[in-house]
Structure 1
Amino acid sequence: MKENYTQLYPNEQVALAVGDYAFSHSSKLPKHITEHHAWGVESQERANYMISPLQAQFQIWFAKAMGAKRVLEIGTFIGFSTLGWVEAVGPKGHVTALEYSAEYAAIAEETFAKNGIKNAEVIVGDARESIKNLVETLKEPYDLIFIDADKTSYPTYLSLILSLSPPSSTSVRLLKKDGIILADNILRRGLIADSSEANPWSDAAKQKAERNWKGDPDKEALDAFNKALVGSERCDVFLMPLFDGLGMGRLLD
């Protein structure tokens, strides 16, 4: 349906102007969050692992709107998005961040300490195992789970979230009923929807070679995640085609 294709951005100049306008007309990020992002851009080789400041604005607004007080973040990097969740849940809330890299986790923890943040913890290790261990000690479920880690594990993370949040369980589940799953990068610069030469990010456009992404484990996993999320009878789903694609699922039972 043509109504699905609202053309806000006829060219790159307008797209940049719209992004700047949206950022300046949304609630401002606290100074310590914007400063950490700026530091990350300047100092980190993989600064693109961070979400954008505009996405941080959205996530803070969204978490506040739903009244989230407990957030689990799968993949924290240097803690920029984690700072946003801490801002959203408030001093009486709690944020648990899972990070594979001890180096990145140390930066995040140092940032929390520098800013007097006491309600965020970082668990270092393979998130697939950390999640299993975490649920054994939980006293109450999470309100929101944000996935922004290794893309090949996205289907596994979703499977773990659902299996560890059984509707009839008498023990504490990982995600509460009506809790939210957010997954970042699920469109991967549009390549999941269109990897032809028309997409300048595609290998086909860059190398005039492959016309699809079959065989790319990251993109195959993201496509599998998207199909599994929308195909789950337990989830109410919306795929938001903003940022790098944000998958949103509400756990119904």
Structure 2
Amino acid sequence: MKEDTPILYPNERVGARVGAYAQEHTTGIPRHIVEYHGYVCDTMPETANYMVSTSQAQAMSFLAKTLGAKRILEVGVYVGLSSLVWSHAVGPEGRVTGLEFDPSFANLAEEAFKKYGVKNVEVIVGDALKTLPALSPTAPYDMIFIDAQKSGYPEYLKSILESSLPGSQNRLLRPGGLIIGDNTLRCSFVADDSEDNPWRQFDFGPRRSEYWKSDDIKTLRRYNEMVTEADRLENWLCPLWDGINISRLLD
């Protein structure tokens, strides 16, 4: 298809069927991850949208295995669903480090790891704006997944690049490593906040009125601009799910 405009499906019904078909014809993720995803959706509906979908989890696992990733850093753990995905992708000899601001979410994640016998994930509790620049890994990470508060995205990227300079000791991300920023289109508001966007009619709650004008949208735009402008990054802004900006670090 030669056109750039991603008119993917004519309506939601067809989109749902195509999505289901694609999931069925994509390498699966372990049963316990699917089970935990359903559990969180059922028991924590107010915050379950903080998780990735199971189809995105399939894509993340595939990407990590394609890269041969063995060390992954996750900025924003929530209750550990994506940590379980990374844990599976790196294998028992790999290592996943997660940064989570909310102690209650971190505790739920630790409970899930214990329930499913996961021993290769470490969660550091605290504000990632402080814990991220304080990291000094013995070996650099292969991938960094950013899925925390959106206002911090530009600062996270700045910190990652400053901590991954060529020739530096205890660098954060290896040459050729990936930085994955989740939610970088945010209901498509980042690209189009006009009245053409039907998400403007959605009730995001009293604290998020006129969300298309919010600081979240502004900082996500800034993050995407920083990625595009960075001399040391190549990237693909993928217009699937809520937008995923996949960047490769160059030395």
TM-score scaled by length of structure 2: 0.94
Kindly state the Cα deviation for residue 213 of structure 1 after the two structures are TM-superposed.
4.0
Relative to 1, partners in 2 of residues 1:188 and 1:222: Cα closer, same or farther, differing over 3 Å? same
Which residue number corresponds to residue 196 of structure 1? 194
Which residue number corresponds to residue 27 of structure 2? 27
Take 1:218 and 1:8, find their aligned partners in 2: how far apart are those partners? 26
Q: Check whether the contact 1:165–1:174 (CA below 8 A) recurs between aligned residues.
A: yes
Which residue identity is paired with 1:242?
L
Kindly state the Cα deviation for residue 223 of structure 1 after the two structures are TM-superposed.
0.1
Which residue number corresponds to residue 126 of structure 1? 127
* 5+ residue gaps, structure 2: none
Which residue number corresponds to residue 85 of structure 1? 86
Kindly state the Cα deviation for residue 8 of structure 1 after the two structures are TM-superposed.
2.5
Q: What secondary structure, in the 3-state scheme, does the structure 1 residue paired with 2:99 have?
A: strand
Which residue number corresponds to residue 63 of structure 1? 64
Which residue number corresponds to residue 111 of structure 2? 110
Question: Which residue of the other structure, out of 172, 182, 190, is the alignment partner of 2:180?
Answer: 182
Take 2:37 and 2:211, find their aligned partners in 1: how far apart are those partners? 34
TM-score scaled by length of structure 1: 0.93
- 4+ runs of 1 displaced by more than 2 Å? 203-206, 210-214
- Identity rate of aligned residues, in percent? 47
Which residue identity is paired with 2:197?
N
Take 1:68 and 1:204, find their aligned partners in 2: how far apart are those partners? 38
Task: Count the aligned residue pairs.
Answer: 246
1:126-171: CA deviation from partner (whole Å, max 9, x where unpaired): 0111112222xx11000000000000000000000000111132x1
Which residue number corresponds to residue 146 of structure 2? 147
Which residue identity is paired with 1:153?
G
Which residue number corresponds to residue 218 of structure 1? 216
Take 1:85 and 1:106, find their aligned partners in 2: how far apart are those partners? 18
Relative to 1, partners in 2 of residues 1:59 and 1:65: Cα closer, same or farther, differing over 3 Å? same
Q: CA RMSD in A?
A: 2.0
Kindly state the Cα deviation for residue 3 of structure 1 after the two structures are TM-superposed.
1.4
Take 1:72 and 1:38, find their aligned partners in 2: how far apart are those partners? 24
Take 1:188 and 1:202, find their aligned partners in 2: how far apart are those partners? 12
